[in-house]
Amino acid sequence: MNTLFDKIWDAHVVNMIEDGPTQLYIDRLYCHEVTSPQAFDTLRDKGIKPFRADHIIAMPDHNTPSDQQEEITDPIGRKQVETLAANCEQFGIKHFAMGTKDNGIIHVVGPEKALSLPGMTIVCGDSHTSTHGAVGAIAMGIGTSEVAQVLASQCILQSKPKTMRINIEGELQNGVTAKDVALYIMSKMTTAGATGFAVEYAGSTIRNMSMEGRLTLSNLSIEMGSRAGLIAPDEITFEYLKGREYAPKGEAWDKAVEEWKKLRSDDDAVFDKEVTYQAEDIKPRITYGTNPGAGIAIDECIPTLESIPEAEQGQFLSQLQYMQFEPGEKLEGHPVDYCFLGACTNGRIEDFRAFASVVKGKKKAENVVAWLVPGSWLVRKQIIEEGIDKILEEAGFELRLPSCSACLAMNPDKVPAGKLAISTSNRNFVGRQGPGARTVLASPLVVAASAVTGVITDPRKI
């Protein structure tokens, strides 16, 4: 009567500290340039080397520019990227350098190279590590002290979270994507609704969801407060992973699949919390506030002040003041300045196919600046092989180079103060896309529709 989470967790317990945390073995550590330099310093302070360097993969993604990758002009960002390369060189860690075919956003590259596999424990100093849970793994974001712990011992100390199953049942409506499902769940249970829990997504909607869609959904688990978002591996998972660069091959593959098939919650497994949503209730979504849970269906209005509990009205109004929106306002038809397709949330091939399907034969609105940023060089290659770049080009869009780009204002792709961006990224926090920038989160379809009309647009209507 174990949950999927229990099965993977229990298989990785090295030691249980009495009245303390569990010492958990980590199969895969990913490092990027932002949250690793001080962890490598800790190794040097202590005069030690990584305990299992072959379990570690590193790549820069946050500081990498998306317009050119000859050099990083910002000296501080450049130093961080160079520091990662030097640390990997010193400690013998596999490093996918900026501008090479292996590089991209960690949470896109890991699954697409089958470096993240079912049954694994995976950590990275990045909250969106939850993404990798979509292959049927425990994948969690950690802090830099914990990165140092894993470097030093291949283990971390963690208290076991509670478990929650979120079931989505039925068929998604036309124009509704995994992103909308995630934004819907967040608005239902708030951005702290899953704090303290590891979430498993289940139900018929998930079983029919593509691997790319599942990765998007797991990616956004942290925006509900959950560090981990797991999906039991199935034929869709195996089909996605098979033949990829680091996937087991031949007999080893067959053996692995047999083991992976056991990675599902038992029929009588009991979760600490269980919720069920109906796919037919979900429409294309947008956010109106400064946390991802502040969202509505695209054809709804922002809540009125009276509909908000009195204790929350002050913070509701301060969010709207930052966003320059009014209570009760309809956002459909509201002009946008910037459109961003990309990030670890929606930077995969399916997202570019979706975007292209909307803009094909149309033209980018003149008032809009659009950044279309593949999540990895592999995604970019596939975009070109499928001729998607031509469709985008004919519609007036330019395909950029792999990077975290406009998700978090750590590279040149910053939204200027006061400008409104409609974005496939994961956070609409104050200043997230640049100091003073305003962000509306949405799916690739909504962003595409808005990019050709210049206003927030329901993709079902064009």
Partner 1 sequence: MAKQKFNIIKSTCIPIAIDNCNTDLIIPARYLASTTRDPKFFGDAFMHDLRYDAQGAPVSDFVMNLPEYSEAPHEGVHEIVVGGQNWGSGSSREHAAWAISGYGVRVVISSSFADIHRNNLLNCFVLPVIVSKEFQQELFESIAADPQTVVTVDVPNQTVTNEATGKSESFSINAYKKHCLMNALDDIDYLLTQKDKIEEYEQKA
Binding part of the chain for partner 1, among 135-143, 243-251, 371-379, 391-399 by CB under 8 A, reads: 135-143
How would you classify residue 405: left for phi > 0, otherwise alpha for psi between -120 and 50, otherwise beta? left
Residue-wise DSSP of 162-207: EEEEEEEESPPPTT--HHHHHHHHHHHH-TTTTTTEEEEEESHHHH
CB of 308 to partner 1, least distance (A): 13
Binding part of the chain for partner 1, among 71-79, 88-96, 247-255, 447-455 by CB under 8 A, reads: 71-79
Nearer to partner 1, 62 or 334 (CB): 62
Measured distance CA(412)–CA(428) in Å, rounded: 18
First and final C-alpha spacing in the chain: 48
274: number of CA atoms within 13 Å, CB side?
8
Count of other CB atoms within 10 angstroms of residue 173: 14
CB of 146 to partner 1, least distance (A): 7
CB of 262 to partner 1, least distance (A): 16
Binding part of the chain for partner 1, among 13-21, 166-174, 207-215, 340-348 by CB under 8 A, reads: 13-21
Binding part of the chain for partner 1, among 144-152, 178-186, 375-383, 444-452 by CB under 8 A, reads: 144-152
Which helix H or strand E contains 230, and what residues bound it? strand 228-230
- Site residues for partner 1, window 414-443 (CB under 8 A)? 417, 427, 429-432, 435-436
| Residue 397: closest CA among 333, 458, 338 | 338
Nearer to partner 1, 154 or 453 (CB): 154
CB of 156 to partner 1, least distance (A): 8
Q: What is the CA radius of gyration of the chain?
A: 21
CB of 385 to partner 1, least distance (A): 33
Q: Indicate which single residue of 47, 54, 76, 250 sits in contact with partner 1 (rule: CB under 8 A).
A: 76
Binding part of the chain for partner 1, among 29-37, 242-250, 327-335, 381-389 by CB under 8 A, reads: 29-37
Residue 201, classified by CB atoms within 10 Å of its CB into exposed (0-12), middle (13-18) or buried (19+), is buried
Cβ contact 290:429 at 8 Å: yes
DSSP 8-class letter at 302: P
Q: Indicate which single residue of 62, 107, 132, 179 sits in contact with partner 1 (rule: CB under 8 A).
A: 62
Determine if 313 is a binding residue for partner 1 (CB under 8 A). Answer: no
- Site residues for partner 1, window 227-246 (CB under 8 A)? 227
Nearer to partner 1, 190 or 208 (CB): 190
Q: Indicate which single residue of 2, 167, 208, 315 sits in contact with partner 1 (rule: CB under 8 A).
A: 315
Q: Give the relative orientation of helices 377-385 and 349-359 as an angle to the nearest 10 degrees.
A: 40
Within 8 A by CB and 6+ apart from 388, the residues are 352, 353, 356
CB of 126 to partner 1, least distance (A): 6
Nearer to partner 1, 81 or 339 (CB): 81
Q: Which amino acid type is present at position 389? A: D
CB of 327 to partner 1, least distance (A): 18
CB of 111 to partner 1, least distance (A): 19
3-state secondary structure of 301: strand
* Contact flags string 159-198 toward partner 1, x per CB under 8 A: x-x-----------------------------xx--xx--
Binding part of the chain for partner 1, among 125-133, 205-213, 264-272, 443-451 by CB under 8 A, reads: 125-133
Measured distance CA(239)–CA(306) in Å, rounded: 50
Residue 51, classified by CB atoms within 10 Å of its CB into exposed (0-12), middle (13-18) or buried (19+), is middle
Determine if 403 is a binding residue for partner 1 (CB under 8 A). Answer: no
- Site residues for partner 1, window 272-311 (CB under 8 A)? 291
Binding part of the chain for partner 1, among 93-101, 148-156, 365-373, 437-445 by CB under 8 A, reads: 148-156
